[in-house]
Amino acid sequence: MLTHFIGGQPVAAGKSFPIHDPVTGAVARHAHEADPEVVDRAVRAAREAARDWAALPVAERAGWMRRLAEGIEARFDDLVAAEIADTGKPLDQTRTLDIPRGIANFRAFAEIAAQRPDDAFHLSGVLSYTVRRPLGVVAVIVPWNLPFLLMTWKLAPALVAGNTVVVKPSEHTPGSTAVFAEICADAGLPPGVVNIILGYGSAGQLLVEHPGVDAVTFTGSTATGTAIMNSVADRVKPISFELGGKNAGLIFEDCDLNRAIEGSVKSVFTNGGQVCLCTERLYVQRPIFEEFCARLASRAQELEPQPMISAEHREKVLSYYALARSEGAKVLTGGSVPTFGDHRDSGYFVEPTVVTGLSEWSRFNREEIFGPVCHVALFDSEAEAIDLANGSDYGLAATLWTGNLDRAHRVAQRLEAGLVWVNTWYQRDLRTPFGGVKLSGIGREGGTQSLDFYSEPTTITIKLEQPDA
């Protein structure tokens, strides 16, 4: 049974809840669910550790981050197994993306923090400089789609900036977080610097509302983001939110079509479409529209279906497949549940799906689905393509495929999105700002932007003595 991790110790408290294997639907194991007492204990442990951790020189905290990276390397196979058990992800993706990014996150933020200069300004006989202080105890609320990658993406900068943390992984995916608790303990990380509580959204709610929590970082749905925002409003806690998306992909007729198709297959179907950066709206220029649709649908048919995270999420995705039909879509491929004739038939699979023919105002084209599915529409002019891409309540990521460099810059700069990829998708430089506009989030993480969120500046202004005349 999976336990919480508080003050450097495993804590078996609270009733148990089941964790299902998405591949078979069977209960795979159980975990303890944090109740108010467990949440309080975790926050207290984090507070007790906060002062000493914040007092360490940044170079020492950066050293801890490197040791945690080494710990992850040493437990690589265990982390891969835990992540696959909880999510049903493909082995190759887990080995090349999810777990390596955990290592990269710790190493990158160690470097960025250790090398960051402070600001200093000199004006008319006064010197002003800033020192940055950690926020204190940060609640880290992690989603189920990229559990290890996203936990470490938040944890590494929060810790290196001098905060202590209480992490709440999704109820579906606590496995890799539990292995990480062992890594922290084995590395000898001071007790209370990292605490982990398990449970449902209700445990996350108790955590963010706890008066001992100073800030909240969250990746997940816009609905949960707004609920957290309301919960912490009266204490004016800093929040950093990366929320939903309804990301557009623009395919111009001057693109390398083979690359655009393969890139779109990745951007639509990676992780079963369960990545906030995945493309759900594709717009293709008229001369290549028919060929693009036919080839994308044919590639989608070749893909190995990947399970959705839960029975409930599968129902949600399938409800959008039904909605597409009821709104009048033409289904080019998929739209249903695959049959395998083996144990996977009781799992949470859906078919990779491509549809066309819906209006921009259809619910299908406006709401985030978070599954292996996209709608393809056509456009004629560059201006029209930009308007279509921007005609969404969301603005996390956009992708464009073109062979014209001027167009690439021109269009990219007009897209209302926090991230624009040109002729590629989901290639990440961890030093760059990451986050969304509109309903897709508040704030940016990544590079020094993460360090800015996880700390607050104090400006010190000192009058300089005038030399004697």
- Nearer Cβ to ligand 6OD (17/148): 148
Q: Which of 275, 332, 388, 439 binds ligand 6OD (CB under 6 A)?
A: 275
Give the CB-nearest residue to ligand 6OD.
276
- Nearer Cβ to ligand 6OD (140/277): 277
- Nearer Cβ to ligand 6OD (153/349): 153
Q: Which stretch binds ligand 6OD (CB under 6 A): 82-90, 269-277, 353-361, 400-408?
A: 269-277
Our finding on whether 266 is near ligand 6OD (CB under 6 A) is no
CB of 435 to ligand 6OD, least distance (A): 8
Our finding on whether 145 is near ligand 6OD (CB under 6 A) is yes
Catalytic choice (83, 171, 242, 351): 242
Our finding on whether 241 is near ligand 6OD (CB under 6 A) is no
Our finding on whether 276 is near ligand 6OD (CB under 6 A) is yes
CB of 219 to ligand 6OD, least distance (A): 6
Our finding on whether 216 is near ligand 6OD (CB under 6 A) is no
- Nearer Cβ to ligand 6OD (150/197): 150
- Nearer Cβ to ligand 6OD (17/153): 153
Our finding on whether 277 is near ligand 6OD (CB under 6 A) is yes
- Nearer Cβ to ligand 6OD (102/136): 102
Please write down the HEC assignment for all residues of the chain.
CECEEECCEEECCCCEEEEECCCCCCEEEEEECCCHHHHHHHHHHHHHHHHHHHHCCHHHHHHHHHHHHHHHHHCHHHHHHHHHHHHCCCHHHHHHHHHHHHHHHHHHHHHHHHHCCCCEEEECCEEEEEEEEECCEEEEECCCCCHHHHHHHHHHHHHHCCCEEEEECCCCCCHHHHHHHHHHHHHCCCCCCEEECCCCHHHHHHHHHCCCCCEEEEECCHHHHHHHHHHHHCCCCCEEEECCCCEEEEECCCCCHHHHHHHHHHHHHHHHHCCCCCEEEEEEEHHHHHHHHHHHHHHHHHCCCCECCCHHHHHHHHHHHHHHHHCCCEEEECCCCCCCCCHHHHCCECCCEEEECCCCCCHHHHCCCCCCEEEEEEECCHHHHHHHHHCCCEECEEEEECCCHHHHHHHHHHCCCCEEEECCCCCCCCCCCECCEECCEECCECHHHHHHHCEEEEEEEEECCCCCC
CB of 111 to ligand 6OD, least distance (A): 16
Q: Which of 252, 434, 453, 454 binds ligand 6OD (CB under 6 A)?
A: 434
Our finding on whether 153 is near ligand 6OD (CB under 6 A) is yes
Q: Which stretch binds ligand 6OD (CB under 6 A): 171-179, 270-278, 320-328, 371-379?
A: 270-278
Q: Which stretch binds ligand 6OD (CB under 6 A): 145-153, 318-326, 398-406, 415-423?
A: 145-153
242 is catalytic: yes
Residues annotated as catalytic (active site), given as ranges? 242
Which parts of this chain interact with ligand 6OD (CB under 6 A)? Answer: 145-146, 150, 153, 219, 275-277, 428, 434
